Amino acid sequence: MKMIYCTCNISVLEALLKKLEAINVKDYQVVDHVIAKSVKGDPRFDTPVWPGYNASVFLQFHDEEKAKTVIQELRTFNKNALNDTELITCCSWNIDDYFYD
């Protein structure tokens, strides 16, 4: 089982969620209003000095092949970004349990 974590500028959250829906990802959670400092681009601390903020999306998968497909689609999403502020940061890891019973 896999967990995927993405964080992105709030300005691209809607496009990211549309991409996930287009590839039939139905199970995810969104955390809105995340302050962040990334390797690329300016910090987003939602202050007058560092305006803007991020959102985070958590995705979990029983099917590891589906998780690989999603990772590839997210890489493609980044390749199509207009600039560094539209890039998503993504990581994944194995999880021991995933249930909703």
- The range of the structural domain enclosing residue 50 comes to 2-94
The reply to whether 13 falls in a domain is yes
- Strand, coil or helix: 24: coil
Report the CATH number at residue 36: 3.30.70.120
- What would the pLDDT profile of 53-77 be if each residue is shown by its tens digit? 999 999 999 999 999 999 999 999 9
What's residue 40's pLDDT? 83
Number of domains in the chain: 1
> Where do we find the tokens 């589906």?
66
Find the mean pLDDT for residues 86-98. 94
Q: Regarding beta strands 2-9 and 54-61, do their DSSP bridges make them parallel or antiparallel, or are they unpaired?
A: antiparallel
Q: Residue 31: which of 47, 45, 13 has the closest Cα?
A: 13
What's residue 63's pLDDT? 93
The reply to whether 72 falls in a domain is yes
The reply to whether 78 falls in a domain is yes
